[in-house]
Structure formats: structure tokens, C-alpha cells
Chain A
Amino acid sequence: MQPTTESDRDDAVSQQGHYAGAATRLAAFAIDQTVLTTAFALGSALLAWVIAVVTADEVNWEPATVVSGVAYLVWWFIYWAYPWSVSGKTVGMAVLGIRVVRADGSSTGPRQGTLRALALPLSFMTLGIGFLPIVFGRHRRALHDKVAGTAVVYSWDARGARWRFLARQQELDPGG
């Protein structure tokens, strides 16, 4: 993995608290989707295994596609709504150092988290047009952000990262 340059870290430090961009949000979404799908699959497999163990293989649990689909949707909703309501960040967002906040910058609550999770499919159903404001909009708020009254900002400890980077540089090259 290529080490970041100082200019990259300077950009990150200067943008802390600013609206997050499309690339970061897309990467976070990809990570979240991977995690939630993997978790659902593992959970389903675990459930099937538990049923098989408990019933001594007499019951082969193969739920109908509709039931699986509904369960997936429920899990999907919980995966997004709960973290957004509590801390404003999902697993992917925590990895990429972004979080959901209210439009004025204050922390989200259950209302914002729930609305955002319910409105997220709208951005997909508009053939992706709902995501275009992230790139071209003034506040980088997608359709589901506007419905829920939220925004996504950079929230990682960029300054501390810079100091860690400088500290390691100094350790490697004390005379630098």
C-alpha cells in the first residue's frame, strides 16, 4: 500500500467537518453492503445449522425466497437505521472516516436515522439520479439526505493521523 503524501494528509486535515465527497461515500457504501450481505448470509447459514442441530437434521430449513427477501430487507433496514440513529456511522463509514449528521451539523437521532434508511432506496429507484447531488450539489446531499434532513461529513481524526504520520517520519528519519 502506497504511503500517503503530506499533501493528502493536509487535504484531510483541512477538510475535517466538511461535506464528504462521492468517492469516500461510495467506498463506505460498498464496504457496508459487503458487510451486511455477508452478515446476512452467515446469519442465515448459522440459523440453518442451529435448526439442523437442534432438530437432529429432521428439519431442513430452507425458507421461501419471499421470506428470505423480507428478512433481508428487515436486516438491511436495521443495519442502516440503527447505526445512523445512534452514532451516525456504519461500519463502512467508520472505516472511511465519515459520518451522518443533521443538516446543521448536530448529531442525528432515531428520526433522522429511520427516515434516511427508508429514503435510501429512493435514490436507487431514480436510476441513480438521486445520488448526483453528491457530486454536483452545493451541500453534497443526496435525495435521501434531503428527505431525512441529514448530510455526510468527514469525521475522522485527520489531525491525529497527520501527527502519527509525522511522528513515524521523525522516528524513521530523526535528522529529517
Chain B
Amino acid sequence: MASAPPVRFLGGVARWCARPLSAHGAAVRAAVVRDGLPAARDAVRRVTPAVVDAVDLDSILAAVDVGALIDRVDVDGIVSRVDVEGIVSRVDVDRIVAQVDIGALLERVDIGALLDRIDLNALLAGVDLNALLAGVDLNALLSGVDLNALLAGVDLNDLLDGVELDPLLAGVDLNALLAGVDLNAVLGNLDLNEVVARIDMDSLIANTEMGAIIVRSTGGAASEALDVVRSQGVSIDTVIARIANRVLGRKLDDLPAGPELLVERRLALPVGDGSADADGSES
């Protein structure tokens, strides 16, 4: 029906009549684009600040129920759609870490406050120390420890003050302990002269039978007479020496006591009747 000749004729007549109208419309549209858009932009630019000022964002936001809004957000659905593994695999962790100034980061961390918040007891209660230590090579660990430096900082006196030695020693089998000691080696290193020098012979003689043995074994009056003479001689020599030192204005400590071989050598028990040579052998 639409393609009948009268219809086509009427359509053509309508188009011919509307041609000036459409030309005019196109001109208007061009004018709008050419002049209207900038004007519209200018109008919007002028109106927008006023609109924004007039809009009370606080009241608008207050009217927004953020909780309900968030509740409506299906976070699980959103997260499930995120390919976390793909994202993580594409992240160059090394590059990120290399850019992090850990020193500055740590400086800002209050480690004390951080540690205060950690319940170490609860933390350690859950740790299987046996399993943990089973995997530790203690030999390798201790080989790197400088025990001397470690012990140098230990106050052994304080440490031992807290140790009860009696119960400790009660559990020690001294016989077994001594059985393993090479007494010959111990005695071989022992300086008997030093040991004897420490003996208080005066007390030994006064409190034991040794005094009676000495009296019975000595020559009696003759030896006592000699002792008296010699002792008196030494005393007189001492007095003369003191006078001489005072005259010369010198101190006794500044003078050599005797020949170096005799004075430096420790004197052990007397040998025989006192006729020993300087090297200890009897003449």
C-alpha cells in the first residue's frame, strides 16, 4: 500500500515542502552546538559552586545508611570474583620489598608497645619445644658460641651463691670420681716446696709430738749454745746495719738482701745439721 504512486507523490511533495524547514532546523542545530554548548558550559560553571554550597553534604551523608549500604554489598561475591592468585602471581614482591626502607619503617615501630601486647606465655604454651629443639643442631649452634666471652660476663660468685652445694655434693660418688683421677699426675705437678712453705711449723711443733722428737734428736746444750751465739750475732749485725743506713740516709728496702741465687730461692725444711751448701747439698 505504501508503495502506491499517489502515496509516493504525496511523500515527495511533503519532502519538498519540508526542505526549507529541515534546512532551518539544521542551521538551528548548528547554532546550538556552536553557541549553546559554551554558554551551557559557562552556565553550569557558574551555577555549580552555588549548587555545591547549597548542598549540605553532611546531612545528605547522614541520611545515607552506610551500614545498610555495606550490608547490601556482597563482599564475598566480589572477592570470589577476584582472581587473587593471578594478582599475587603478578606482583613482584622482591621489587616491592627492595623499595621498602625497612630501617625507617622499624624506627617508627614502637617495639616495646608491640611486645607488651603480645602474651608470650600464651604464645609459648602453644609451642612444642621438644619438637622445636629436636630439629636444632646444638653442636653446630654451640660451636659458634664463644664460651670464654660468655663466661667472662657471668658473675660466678653470685651464681654459686644460689647453688646449694650440700645436696649437690650428696649425689656425687666421690669414690668413683677419685678413681678417675690420676693422682700421680697431680702430684707430679705439685710444688712440694710451696706446700711445705705454707705449713705453720711453729704451731705444728707446739701442738704435736714433733717438738718432743726434735728435742730428743738434737745435740742438747751445745747446739743450744751455738744457736744463742748465732742469734745474738745476727741481732747485733741488724743493729749495726740500721745505724749505717741511718748515717748514709738510705732505706733498707733499697739494698739487696743477699745473692740472687740464695734470696730468690724458696727455703724448704732444713737439711741435716745446717751444713748444707747453697745448692742444698750437704758438704
Interface residues of A (CB under 8 A from B): 1-4, 7-9, 11-12, 15-24, 27, 86-88, 94-97, 101-107, 135-136, 138-139, 151, 153-168, 170-171, 176
User: Do residues A136 and B248 form an inter-chain contact, with CB atoms below 8 A?
Assistant: yes
- Min CB–CB distance B155 → chain A (angstroms): 40
B205 touches A166 (CB 8 A): yes
Q: Are B278 and A164 in contact (CB under 8 A)?
A: no
* B228 with A2: CB separation less than 8 A: yes
Q: Is the CB of B278 within 8 A of A16?
A: no
Can you identify 23 A-B contacts, CB atoms within 8 angstroms?
A: A1-B225, A1-B228, A4-B227, A7-B235, A11-B235, A11-B238, A12-B235, A17-B262, A17-B263, A21-B236, A23-B237, A27-B233, A87-B283, A106-B278, A107-B279, A136-B247, A138-B255, A153-B262, A156-B226, A159-B267, A164-B227, A167-B212, A170-B206
Once the chains bind, are B224 and A164 in contact (CB under 8 Å)? yes
Chain A residues closer than 8 Å to B227, beta-carbon distance = 4, 9, 161, 164-165
- Shortest CB-to-CB span from A85 to chain B, Å, is 12
Q: Does B137 contact A (CB under 8 A)?
A: no
Contact with A along B218-239 (1 / 0, CB 8 A): 1000011111111111111110
A contact residues around B247 at 8 Å (CB):
136
The reply to whether A167 and B234 form a contact with Cβ atoms under 8 Å apart is no
Question: Is the interface on chain B under 10, 10 to 19, 20 to 34, or 35 or more residues?
Answer: 35 or more
A154-B278 Cα distance, complex, nearest whole Å? 10
Residues of B within 8 A of A15 (CB): 234, 238, 257
With both chains docked as a complex, state the minimum distance between the C-beta of B237 and any C-beta of chain A, in angstroms: 2
Docked-complex contact B214 and A106, CB < 8 angstroms: no
Chain A residues near B235: list those with CB within 8 A: 7-8, 11-12
B150 to chain A, nearest CB (A): 47
CA distance A3 to B231 in the complex (A): 10
Instruction: With CB as the reference atom, state the residue of chain B lying closest to A7.
Output: B235
Give per-residue flags for B197-215: 1 if the beta carbon is below 8 A from chain A beta carbons, else 0. Answer: 0000110011000111011
Check A24–B261 contact: CB distance below 8 A.
Answer: no
Of the listed stretches B11-19, B121-129, B183-191, B269-277, chain A binds B269-277
A128 to B237 CA separation, bound complex (whole angstroms): 18
| Contacting residues, chain A, for B231 (C-beta < 8 A) | 4, 8-9, 11-12, 158, 161
Residues of chain B within 8 A (CB-CB) of A1 are 225, 228
Query: Which B residues form the contact surface with A (CB < 8 A)?
Result: 201-202, 205-206, 210-212, 214-215, 218, 223-238, 240-241, 244, 247-248, 255-263, 265, 267, 269-279, 283
B280 to chain A, nearest CB (A): 11
Shortest CB-to-CB span from A62 to chain B, Å, is 39
Task: Return chain B residues, CB-CB under 8 Å to A9.
Answer: 227, 231
Contact B230 A104 (CB under 8 A): no
Q: Give the residue name and chain of the B residue nearest to A94 (CB).
A: B275
Q: Contact check: which of A3, A17, A161 meets B230 at CB < 8 Å?
A: A161
Tell me whether B262 and A171 are in contact (CB under 8 A). no
Measured between C-beta atoms, what is the minimum distance from B4 to chain A in Å?
159
Contact (Cβ within 8 A) A97 B240: no
What is the CA–CA distance of A165 and B267 in the complex, to the nearest angstrom? 19
Q: Can you add 7 more A-B contacts, CB < 8 Å, to A17-B257, A95-B226, A157-B271?
A: A4-B228, A18-B263, A21-B236, A24-B237, A97-B230, A159-B201, A167-B215
Q: Are B278 and A105 in contact (CB under 8 A)?
A: yes
Nearest B residue to A22, CB-CB: B240
Interface residue from B232, B241, B244, B274 paired with A155 (Cβ < 8 Å): B274
* Nearest A residue to B225, CB-CB: A1
Nearest B-chain residue to A151, judged by Cβ:
B259
Counting from the closest, the 10 A-B pairs by CB-CB distance are A21-B237, A157-B274, A105-B259, A105-B261, A167-B211, A17-B262, A160-B270, A24-B233, A18-B258, A23-B236
Q: Which residue of A lies closest to B201 (CB)?
A: A163
With contacts A105-B259, A166-B205, A170-B206 taken as known, whether A21 is within 8 angstroms of B234 at the C-beta atoms is yes
